């Protein structure tokens, strides 16, 4: 299983990718994994991931994480609904907010959610030399030492508000998003990773295309656009930060 779980595409033009990243400080790499690998990962996210919720209402608000089994409790589900309503209020007031389905790879390892399971293996692969070596080569940052990560699913009415990822003091250097969406994601369904200039204009937008890896230096002003109620569930991804410590 481990071999099929995470194999890089051997045909990547690393020199060309590095040149593109050096110029733009952001990059979308299509077909980053072998097709077999990408489809195996998507199957894990679709059928073998116990999704919790991640929410935050306001830049100064608390980041809430609710595990799937905890949401079965009435009081926890009620709390999640209250925070969810607060995210709407925060966003309406031009404050930072987000809500999405989430499964933390790091917490899964630290707390033993599924010892030896595919999510633990995935985090191992993200921190192994093949992937980190590619990331050092493409970004030109030899100090990259480790990756954290979480699985996410932006379903209907989910979004990630405008922010800049300013945790440089914690070692964040590069943000990454490994897209594992359903095939042929349609633009009207939202879920785009977008970057803004100082006037709020969109400079670049990355479609959540299956088996693509988005990379960008932090901090940069960005967001994930709102997924409308008519969109199908399927904006799956593995996201996190590449760190120098």
Q: What is the pLDDT of residues 231-241, one digit of tens each?
A: 999 999 999 99
Domain spans, the chain: 2-243
Instruction: Give the tens place of pLDDT for each residue, 23-42.
Output: 999 999 999 999 999 999 99
Q: How confident is the model at residue 3 (pLDDT cuts 50, 70, 90)?
A: low
Q: Is the pLDDT of residue 168 over 90?
A: no
Q: Is the pLDDT of residue 1 over 90?
A: no
Q: How confident is the model at residue 165 (pLDDT cuts 50, 70, 90)?
A: confident
- Poorest-confidence range of 103-107, 135-139, 148-152, 165-169? 165-169
Instruction: Give the tens place of pLDDT for each residue, 172-185.
Output: 999 999 999 999 99
Instruction: Give the tens place of pLDDT for each residue, 46-68.
Output: 999 999 999 999 999 999 999 99
Q: Is the pLDDT of residue 215 over 60?
A: yes
Superfamily of segment(s) 2-243: q2cbj1_9rhob like domain (2.60.120.620)
Whole-number percent of the chain with pLDDT over 70: 97
Structure confidence at residue 2 (pLDDT): 42
The reported pTM is 0.95
Q: Is the pLDDT of residue 112 over 90?
A: yes
Judge if the upstream peptide bond of residue 170 is cis by omega within 30 degrees of 0.
Answer: no
- Mean pLDDT value across the chain: 96
Cα gap 136→120, rounded to integer Å: 23
């Amino acid at each position: 299983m481990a071999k099929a779980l995470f194999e890089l595409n051997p045909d990547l033009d690393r020199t060309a990718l590095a040149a593109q990243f050096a110029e733009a400080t952001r990059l979308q790499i299509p077909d980053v994994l072998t097709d077999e690998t990408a489809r195996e990962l998507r199957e894990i996210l679709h059928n073998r991931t116990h999704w919790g919720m991640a929410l935050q209402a306001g830049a100064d608000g608390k980041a809430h994480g609710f595990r799937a089994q905890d949401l079965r409790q009435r009081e926890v589900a009620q709390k999640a609904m209250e925070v969810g309503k607060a995210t709407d209020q925060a966003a309406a007031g031009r404050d930072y907010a987000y809500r999405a389905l989430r499964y933390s790879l790091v917490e899964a390892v630290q707390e033993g959610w599924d010892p030896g399971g595919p999510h633990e293996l995935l985090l191992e692969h993200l921190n192994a030399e093949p992937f980190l070596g590619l990331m050092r080569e493409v970004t030109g940052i030899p100090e990259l030492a480790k990756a954290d990560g979480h699985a996410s699913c932006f379903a209907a009415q989910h979004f990630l508000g405008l922010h800049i990822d300013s945790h440089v003091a914690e070692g964040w250097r590069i943000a990454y998003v490994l897209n594992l969406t359903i095939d042929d994601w349609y633009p009207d369904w939202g879920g785009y990773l977008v970057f803004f200039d100082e006037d709020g204009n969109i400079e670049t937008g990355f479609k959540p295309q299956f088996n693509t890896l988005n990379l960008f230096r932090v901090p940069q002003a960005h967001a994930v656009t709102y997924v409308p109620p008519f969109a199908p569930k399927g904006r799956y991804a593995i996201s996190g930060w590449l760190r120098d410590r």
